[in-house]
Amino acid sequence: MAGPAGAKGVTLFNVAAPDDALRQQSCRNNVIHVAPSRAMLADALAQYLVWKKWSRWVLAYGSHPEDGLLADAYRRSAKRFGARIVKEVEFKDTGGARQTDSGVVQTQAQMPVFTQGLPDYDVLVTADENEVFAGYLPFRTWDARPVAGSAGLRPVSWSAASESWGGAQVQDRFIRMAHRRMTPLDMQAWTACRMIGEAASRSGSTDPGKIMQNMKSPDFGVAAYKGQKLTLRDWDLQLRQPILLDDGRTVVSVSPQPGFLHQVTELDTLGFDRPETRCKL
């Protein structure tokens, strides 16, 4: 769709798809990526694990194509930040639901066996975008180890537990309007609208071309309750942004982590940096 839309002067905002290919070899100059990529999410988690000196990982990934792409992102992140994947295990999705079809007792027996006999490791990193197995791993691993990735400690663009930088106020307003808590997708869609409004205000115009020109300029930035200005990368039109590390109850940390330096902005330590990009706009 991006190709024909671009030919008609239409700009699209990607608020949901995490695919790295959309920011790499399949990038388009009329697609603004508000959603973080898999590489950004994986890098955010990897930085924290390395900062904690939990550098020996077991990577558990699902059998769906999306799980494989997320596993690739974690492999890249491990190599990038000096972690070591000591073992990889695949969970085959054979259908059914572990709780309803097999019961809690069967689940309690299955997950320890899945993680039995692993080499010594610090953390179990899971890649399970379809939510097939990862959610059943915390507190059920054979060894007493933390779970991260698709369950346990999760890298997200937004958390319902975020209260810093005005987060409590935007959460309260959203709950009053939608009668539920704010999800990452909600925040990504809101940020896209905020970017349009900010660019229109700064350009003083309602002309779509002028709005997009302002949004893509080096001086553009938008506030999104994350503690710092969010800007667009000019090489792939990905929105730079901090990534929250959420355990389901609290925000444990926010990446980029201290000590991961960059000559332009620490936000560019998350995802594909300019020298790494394969995007040619």
pLDDT tens readout for residues 172-224:
999 999 999 999 999 999 999 999 999 999 999 999 999 999 999 999 999 99
- In terms of pLDDT, which residue wins out, 77 or 6? 77
CATH entry, 2-36+159-241, from 3.40.718.10, 3.40.50.2300, 3.40.50.1580, 3.40.50.11540: 3.40.50.2300
Confidence label for 6 from pLDDT (cuts 50, 70 and 90): low
Residue 100 has pLDDT above 80, yes or no: no
Task: Give percent above pLDDT 70 in the chain.
Answer: 93
Average pLDDT, the chain: 93
User: What is this structure's pTM?
Assistant: 0.93
User: In the numeric block, which tokens belong to residue 211?
Assistant: 């709005």
Mean pLDDT of 113-126: 96
User: pLDDT class for 255, splitting at 50, 70, 90?
Assistant: very high
User: Is the per-residue pLDDT at 257 higher than 70?
Assistant: yes
Structural contact between residues 128 and 151, judged by C-beta atoms closer than 8 angstroms = yes
Domain boundaries of the chain, sorted by first residue: 2-36+159-241, 39-156
Q: Which fold has domain 39-156?
A: Rossmann fold (3.40.50)
